[in-house]
Amino acid sequence: MDTLTRTDYQFPGQTGVYHGKVRDVYSIGEDKLVMIATDRISAFDVVLPKGIPYKGQVLNQIASKFLDATADIVPNWKQASPDPMVTVGVRCEPFKVEMVIRGYITGSAWREYCKGARTLCGISLPEGLRENQRFETPLITPTTKADQGHDENISKEEIISQGLVSREEYEQLEKYTYALFKRGTEMAAEKGLILVDTKYEFGKKDGTIYLIDEIHTPDSSRYFYSEGYEERFARGEEQRQLSKEFVRKWLMENGFQGQAGQQVPEMTDAYCESVSERYIELYEKIVGEKFVKADAADLAARIERQIMEYLKL
């Protein structure tokens, strides 16, 4: 099946391009960005060798819907979505931190806890926590935003003392983060899901803070199914979840965690198709609408055409 794993466009007024792990971002003039959600997939900060059919469309359309649904909380960068895999919006100066918020202890936080860590980003954790246990109140556990390699956990006070973000602005980012997570939690609950954890990125333009990048997608968030959560937790069983964690677990089971000398296991067409189905399942579950597959016959040409038509407006 056709997937989009790389782009190399030249748009009118283009002033730069940034190829991220899964998104390609084109700068148009001084104040506009064209963000293309490719079908690349990454885990452990490594881009895996094969694309996932419709993944870019899933991510872009979920993010687009949640940006619209949270615009009353914080201004966001989105101006238009001219193609199912594309968002065009305001170019901001990104803050050099990502705001990670956790409602439950799972994933990397749980792995660190199992190793004996009892502080996370400067926050003390009690003894006796169990995997997938809900925190009394959500924890904000920020990371540095690395251009290359791994993002690193960092505390609020370290962020402020290093001058990454001023105290006043960081506290505003915290308020936005809690409010966005609350809205995302409520919207997930309506669909029978638990928003377990997620991350938000913010930027600034003309003195105004904007929410940027994606929001509440399976790449940036983790969801559990509400039904059966308590029973599974009581029995110490794995939760049914919709997130990218299942890809990380598959890689770990096959001896890969992004470390030197490790080889990515073979991604068969059948495996890639199964991952695609999981992404589509999350879309339909969280959005509450059937996923409509866009024509994928010539993705690169379709996207270029749609963007060019938009830029002419």
Q: pTM for this structure?
A: 0.90
Residue 45: pLDDT over 90: no
156-167: per-residue pLDDT in tens? 999 999 999 999
Residue 53: pLDDT over 80: yes
210-219: per-residue pLDDT in tens? 999 999 998 8
pLDDT band (50, 70, 90) for residue 209 = very high
Residue 302: pLDDT over 60: yes
pLDDT band (50, 70, 90) for residue 150 = low
Q: Which CB contacts under 8 angstroms, 24+ apart, belong to 256-265?
A: 256/44, 257/44, 258/43, 258/44, 258/45, 258/46, 264/46, 264/48, 264/49
- At residue 147, the pLDDT reads 62
CA angle 261, 4, 245 (to 5 degrees): 50
218-259: per-residue pLDDT in tens? 888 999 999 999 999 999 999 998 778 789 889 999 999 999
Which one is the CATH code of 94-243: 3.40.50.720, 3.90.780.10, 3.40.190.10, 3.30.470.20? 3.30.470.20
Residues of the chain with pLDDT > 90: what percent?
Answer: 89
Q: What is the mean pLDDT of residues 279-295?
A: 93
- At residue 143, the pLDDT reads 96
- At residue 148, the pLDDT reads 58
